[in-house]
A = this chain, B = another copy of it.
Amino acid sequence: MRALEQKILQEGKVLPGNILKVGSFLNHQIDTGFILEIGQEIAKIYSDREVTKILTIEASGIAIGMGVGVAMQLPIVFAKKNKHANISGDVYKTCVHSYTHNTEYTVILSKDFLGPEDKVVIVDDFLANGKALMGLIDIVKQSGATLVGCSCVIEKGFQGGGDALRKMGVRVESLAIIESMDNDSVTFRR
């Protein structure tokens, strides 16, 4: 998505530790009009497939999910990163290692909102080593739903998570894939 690549080049900041800050439009401040465009772009990818639900993960995934859900006129459901007091009853549960924070966390989703009848597209803001996506894919498997594909806004290709999932046969289509980055430049995969 060319407009996204331009926005990353214009507004993104590369920090030590392979961190790309895009908080001006994607995951702290949110450019709502641009998120709707992102949603339409992801909707196009799956326009020939039946999809019943968009799955994402709190917190930054929710805005992306909204963009895609609006474009596809579908409900979204977001997995929660800790056991919240106001989730009761049966949940799907999985464990994810966070690269950014170097911790393990539990991800849960109420069984009320995903089941064998669902055809699911998973979306998130970033795809790096793929641990969060693998957690969400595990939840889709537990639910018996069909995974249609995974689309993240920005994939850090050099961290390998996206390619590992593709080798496992998962459809992964990110809107921008970064091949390499340092203080001075960001290079996209062609």
Contacts from A to B (Cβ < 8 Å)? 15, 17, 19, 21, 23-24, 28-33, 35-36, 58-59, 62-63, 65-67, 69-70, 73-78, 80, 84-88, 100-101, 109-110, 112-113
A28-B113, A29-B77, A59-B78 are contacts. A35–B66 as well, Cβ < 8 Å? yes
Q: From the candidates B15, B21, B59, B113, name the one contacting A23 in the complex (CB within 8 A).
A: B113
A30-B76, A30-B78 are contacts. A23–B112 as well, Cβ < 8 Å? yes
Q: Are B87 and A28 in contact (CB under 8 A)?
A: yes
Q: How far, in Å, is A11 (CB) from chain B's closest CB?
A: 11
A23-B110, A63-B66 are contacts. A88–B15 as well, Cβ < 8 Å? yes
New contact pairs (5) apart from A21-B88, A30-B69, A30-B75, CB-CB < 8 Å: A28-B78, A28-B110, A29-B112, A32-B74, A58-B59
Nearest residue in B to A68 (C-beta to C-beta)?
B32
Q: Are B75 and A32 in contact (CB under 8 A)?
A: yes
Q: Which residues of B contact A112 (CB under 8 A)?
A: 23-24, 29
